[in-house]
Amino acid sequence: MLANSSAETKRVAIVIKYLGTAFYGWQRQPHHRTVQYVIERAINRTVASSSQNWIPLHGAGRTDSGVHAAAQTAHFDVSSPIPGQKWATVLNKYLPHDVVILASAEVPSDWHARFSASWRRYRYTLYTAASPNLFVAPFSWHYYYEPLDVTAMEAALKPLLGYHDLAAFCRAGSERSHTWIDLQDINCTCQDSLITVELQANGFLYGMVRLLVGLLVKVGRGEISPETFFEIWFYRQRDRVKYSAPAKGLCLLQVGYDYFPFPKSVWSNHQPHFYFH
């Protein structure tokens, strides 16, 4: 344990990778194991002092229970002689096996993991072979009930690019003041038995990606057309979006900033693509 000192308060940014399987999401909650809490516990264990209250951790976004992250970003304010770039090494000593700090750095006091972010990028993975694959299963939705038409799915996704009201893809309980989202990039690819959907936006609504993928699969199996998919979200018909895709297929890939105090190599070890030959 490292004792706290009279050092000036500094803001430290961290990049985090975690497997969401055994976590009850990101946000700290009573009686549940969450990513935010286990990292906060490591921070406060490091600087334990009767003169300093519990140090909170502020994340770029809140992932749901079971959702993974390849490069979540967060920050905390601390009075400690530990240099910003050393915090990753220090905290990893106290963290469980399913979460790791990839990098840490001191940032300006007005830099904020959430409010300074200009975009977030998510990937959803579907595995469509008839037989389960134990190595892919923890990170994908095993959808083998019928073939999926990826061309139709791509056609349904294209009109989403741009600034739209996506209230149809927002779960109840959202804390956002509005449901307008700027979708900056969309990518849907198929390789053998794997289908991946990647979405990049300035922000995401509560449960948005899983609701969107749940409806998109209805397009893939021919239950609704790309035109109907468009009508549902364009006219904000939330009552027609009934199914949320399983959490384990979703991964927060990256969070983008105008000022990012880490080299690109921090992102190079993101969630790997699965390939079959």
If you ran DSSP here, which 8-state letter would residue 167 be given?
G
Dist CA 255 CA 201 (whole Å) = 10
Tokens coding 222? 């021919």
Tokens coding 151? 């061309």
CB crowding 177-200: b at 16 or more within 10 Å, else e: eebebebbebebebeebbbbbbbb
**Long-range contact pairs involving 52-57 (C-beta distance under 8 Å, separation at least 24):** 52/4, 52/79
Active-site position among 64, 77, 110, 192: 64
Q: What pairing do the DSSP bridges indicate for beta strands 99-107 and 9-18? A: antiparallel
Catalytic residue list contains 64? yes
Catalytic residues: 64
